[in-house]
Amino acid sequence: MEAHRLQDFTEIDKLRLQLLNNSKDATSFHHLEAEVCPSSRDILNRIEDIILGIVTSLSQDEAPVLKLPNRSSWANISFDSTVGLQMNSGHSVTALRSDSPSSVNKFAQVLKILSVIYRLVQSNTYATKRDIYYNNTQLFGSQATVDSIVDDISCMLRAPRRSLHVLATSKGLISGDLCYMEEDGMRIDCRSSSAAVPVSSNIAGIRNIVSSAKFIIIVEKDATFQRLMDDDFCTKLPPCVIITGKGVPDMNSRLMVRKLWDTLHVPIFALVDSDPHGIEIMCIYKYGSMAMSFEAHSLTVPSVMWLGLLPSDLQRLQVPSDVLIPLTKNDEKKLSSLLQRPYLTDQPDWQKEMEVMQRTKVKAEIQSLAAISPDFLTNIYLPNKLRYGGWV
C-alpha cells in the first residue's frame, strides 16, 4: 500500500532529478555561504572603519556622512535566474548627513545600533531586534525603525544579520517529516500531527537534519497551514514537509526554506491564494525581495514551483462564482507591476496564469475550494496536483 502510494507520485521524483541536474554543484552553495559570512573580527573591523571615517571628517572640520546602500531602488537591482533579485555592485547610496535635520535622527539611530552590535559581537552574546528597540524606545520611536536600520547595517557591513548577533523572533511554523538539532543541542521533531513547530530563530545553528520528505510545500497563510494540519496532510501523502511564513515571510522562514533546499534537494512547491498578493509572496520565496537583495544568495530558492491555487484552476475546477472576488484597482495595479518584474520573463507559464487573472479580473482564496467540498483541498486538489504534475 505504501509502495503503491509512493509510485503514484513519480512526477515528483522526475522533477527532483530534473532539479538536481539543473542546479549547480551542491558544494557551491556552501562556498557562497562561507563567502557572505564574515568573521567576528571582520565585523568589528568594518564598524571601526565607519567610526574612524566619522572621526576623520570631524578632524577636517567636515560634517560626518554615513552612506547607506539604497535598498529601495529598482535601479540597484539585477536579476539572475540562478539567484533571483540581487543588489548590483555599483549600487547607489543614500547619504545620511549629521548636519541635516532631516537625516540626523537616522544617523544617530544607526550609530546607536552599530554600538550595540559592536558590543554583542565582541562579547559573543545575542540580542533580538525587540531588545534593541526596548532599550531605547524614545530614540527609535518604533520597532519598524529598528528592523529597517538593522537591515541597512547588514547591507552596509556586507554581513548577514545573524553575523551581527541580532536575532529576530520567528513567526513561521513547520511540520512534517523532519528532525534536526538546534545549536544548543535541543532536538526538534516536526512529525507531530497535532502541533506545528515554530521556525527556529537561529537557522545557521541548525544541524543534523534528518528527513525522508519527497517534497516541501510553502503555504502562504496560517489558516491554510492549520487546515492541512487538521486534515493530517503530511501523513496521508508521501513524506513531506509543510512550512508557512504566515503571509509575507520573515527572514528566518526564508532561511529555513533555503536550508531545507540546500540539505534535501527536494522539490519545493508554493500553495498561495490566487491573487496578486499571494503571487508576490511566492516570488519572495523564489526570487527574493528588493529590500533584502543584498543577501539573495542565502535567502532565495529559484527552483520553487507554483502548485496552486492557479487562476486556471478556478476555471478548470468550476469553482462557484459566489466565492470568487473581483480584483480591486490596487490588485490590478499590483498585477501589472508583477508582470513587469524582471524575473517573470523567465517564467512564461507564470505569465500565462497571471494573464488569465488579468483577463478574468477575479481572485480567490484557497479556502474557496471548500465550496466544492469541505475536504477538497487535502483529499482531492493537492493529491491530484502532486500526482499528475499540476505545477508550473
Given the rule CB under 8 A, which residues bind another protein? Answer: 44-45, 47-48, 51-52, 54-59, 61-64, 98-101, 104-105, 107-109, 111-112, 114-115, 118-119, 122, 139
Burial zone of 36 (CB within 10 Å; 0-12 exposed, 13-18 middle, 19+ buried): middle
Exposure of 180 in the CB half-sphere (CA atoms within 13 A): 24
Nearer to another protein, 23 or 100 (CB): 100
Yes or no: say if 250 and 172 are a contact pair by the CB < 8 Å rule: yes
> Count of residues for the chain?
392
The least CB distance from residue 162 to another protein, in Å, is: 21
Nearer to another protein, 109 or 170 (CB): 109
3-state SS assignment for residue 81: coil
Q: Amino acid identity of 378?
A: T
Nearer to another protein, 58 or 95 (CB): 58
Nearer to another protein, 115 or 212 (CB): 115
Displacement of CA 178 from its chain's centroid (Å)? 19
Q: Is 134 a catalytic residue?
A: yes
The least CB distance from residue 384 to another protein, in Å, is: 58
Yes or no: say if 243 and 257 are a contact pair by the CB < 8 Å rule: yes
Chain position carrying cell 519527497? 214
The least CB distance from residue 66 to another protein, in Å, is: 10
The least CB distance from residue 296 to another protein, in Å, is: 30
The least CB distance from residue 68 to another protein, in Å, is: 15
The least CB distance from residue 141 to another protein, in Å, is: 13
Q: What is the DSSP string of 146-194?
A: HHHHHHHHHHHTT--GGGGTEE-----EEEES-EEE-TTS-EEE---SS
d(CA 326, CA 215) in angstroms, rounded, equals 33
Nearer to another protein, 95 or 223 (CB): 95
d(CA 89, CA 69) in angstroms, rounded, equals 10
Which residue, 291, 287, 12, 4, is CA-closest to 150?
291
Straight-line distance from the first to the last Cα atom of the chain, in angstroms, rounded to the nearest whole number = 29
d(CA 287, CA 325) in angstroms, rounded, equals 27
Q: Which of 134, 285, 287, 388 is catalytic?
A: 134
> Any idea what the Cα angle at residue 282 is, between residues 17 and 188, rounded to 5°?
70
Nearer to another protein, 141 or 326 (CB): 141
Residues annotated as part of the active site: 134
